[in-house]
Chain A
Amino acid sequence: MNTNDDEFALAPGVMPTPTLPSISTLTRPFWDAAAEGRYILPRCNACGRHFFRPEVACPHCFAIDWAWVPASGHGTLYSYSIVHKAPAPGFAVPLVLAVVELAEGPCVWSNVVGCAHADLRIGMPLQVRFEEVSRGIHLPRFEPRDGVWDARPS
């Protein structure tokens, strides 16, 4: 899929992605909520645990009964790589490919934006920032969580 939408322009400072999510009925609620600026996660009604990515049954307990619930959008940086070789034409490199450990438990792929590469630290607090990368497609990227990390004694 390509962002061949002549009428759509990225907002200033927003990193492009040429590879858009291939959305299914399973995952559509996530992207619909993202377009409204809401970060939601699947949570199992049987065991009470959050998981990601969405699956037909809970990966913790195999139960089919789960629901989308609002999430904090907070997490910490579990690991990352600064990608210098564009994985496909259209990516702007270098970019930060990140593994974010969400406050609710799951670890997800994302990007860290709004942070100098030299300031990246494993464990740093992050918060979600939705960025519209194609018409109606809002990617959940993460930025340093204001006032939490910088306030720590050095």
Chain B
Amino acid sequence: MTHPRAATIVGLYQTRQARTLPGRTSQDIVIEAVKGAIADAGLQPRDVDGAAIDWPGPGGAPRDAENWAMYLQQPLAWVDSHHLDTAGVRGVLKAAAAVEAGLCDVAVVGSGRAGPFSTDGTSPGANMNLEFAEPFGSFVMAQFAVVAMRHMHEFGTTPEQIATVSATIRNHGHVNPEAAMFGAGPYTVADVLASPMIASPFHRLDCCLMNEGGCALVITTAERARDLPRHPVRVLGGGMEFFQGNYANPPLYRQMRELGRKAVARAFGRAGVAPADIDVFSLYDPVSFEIIRQFEMLGLCAEGEGGAFIENGRLSLGGSCPTNLDGGMLAGSWTGTGQLTLKVIEGARQLRRVNEHRQVRDAELALISNAGSGAQHVELMILGRA
């Protein structure tokens, strides 16, 4: 029996995701997302008493989620302000825990971004004040690259297999009107391999986007969800694993081969289901290779066999592991933190069964993941159609 306070996702909203959103600011994008998610849930702002929502400013107290009490028109019972707690699996799991513990009844998680990341074209992860990494040319894509290179060395994973992931997910984005790269394809494996090298083995088309947009979702109790209009989606289980601080020390494959396995055991143990039961996958794809590693992490194939596992249409709609049917971060959106939440939103939409041409038929269970080996942490969550 479902506990009356079981955490349930009842509202979803994503703004337009695009390379640029001229005239928009991060703050007005977050406001649009929060209003949209509350409306989608059939609620009013004053119904919300928990906020893990970014506050980019201007206005208010910088980065402080407590500012949202002003718009939600009541004192808040629960807040979280850290930029990685206002998004994604981590944000939703913490909000779900707050709801289930009775700290609040209706929580919103959300963030958004518009405007340039920097003025000099610097890559993400290249300006984090990392004394023993950045002077050598480290940045995020290159940190993921050294994990992939070692995997290729040990197991013979091929550039074509890695590019197959990219082509597949980018083709999903090609036919999704909400994806930032809608209509930009279609792509072949050869197209991926012919795109400029960024950091070997990753070509440009193996790397995720950088764009603008926002999103938010609403979580409440199973009891409250019964009175709301959308088909409820349950947070069945979650697990997180943080190996060490991000990007300061190199990610070693011999350590990263284990990353996430305890989180998988915790999440599936709590949910009472197995990885083989999952109907649709919404996996973090900062680079294409990370999808291969995550299927090994999930135990759906043996270590080293991920490259072969993803071949032959496995990741497509109609394959046995439909993955990132929205285009993921490779073709859908990456906005800094919003993409973490979009992974949850895509999984929840699949379980609402509202995704039309990309809908996985009769989807009951979705797996959501965030982060990955290069970042040395993993958060994952299992969602179930109520």
Asked whether B198 is an interface residue with its Cβ less than 8 Å from the other chain, the reply is yes
Bound-complex Cα distance A123 to B315 (A)? 34
Asked whether A115 is an interface residue with its Cβ less than 8 Å from the other chain, the reply is no
The residue among A19, A86, A91, A98 with the most chain B CB atoms within 10 A of its own CB is A19
Give the chain B neighbours of A80 by CB distance below 8 A. Answer: 146, 149
Asked whether B155 is an interface residue with its Cβ less than 8 Å from the other chain, the reply is no
Asked whether B21 is an interface residue with its Cβ less than 8 Å from the other chain, the reply is no
A82-98: which residues lie under 8 A (CB-CB) from chain B?
Answer: 82-89, 91, 93, 95, 97-98
Which A residue sits closest to B198, measured CB to CB?
A85
Known: A23-B131, A87-B142. A79 touches B199 (CB 8 A): no
Known: A52-B132, A97-B137. A107 touches B249 (CB 8 A): yes
The dominant DSSP class at the B interface is loop
Instruction: Say yes or no: B250 contacts A108, CB within 8 Å.
Output: yes
Which A residue sits closest to B118, measured CB to CB?
A88
Instruction: Say yes or no: A88 contacts B120, CB within 8 Å.
Output: yes
Instruction: Say yes or no: A88 contacts B127, CB within 8 Å.
Output: yes
Q: Name the one of B129, B142, B153 contacting A83, with C-beta atoms under 8 angstroms.
A: B142
Known: A91-B137, A107-B252. A85 touches B123 (CB 8 A): yes
Instruction: Say yes or no: A109 contacts B123, CB within 8 Å.
Output: no
Interface 1/0 per residue, B283-298 and A, CB below 8 Å: 0000000000000000
Bound-complex Cα distance A88 to B123 (A)? 7
Which B residue sits closest to A17, measured CB to CB?
B135
Give the chain A neighbours of B252 by CB distance below 8 A. Answer: 78-79, 99, 107
In the A-B complex, the 9 residue pairs with the closest CB atoms? A81-B145, A87-B126, A87-B139, A79-B146, A79-B150, A99-B250, A82-B200, A84-B197, A21-B131
A residues whose Cβ falls under 8 Å from a Cβ of B: 17, 19-24, 27, 52-53, 78-89, 91, 93, 95, 97-99, 107-111, 122, 133, 139, 141
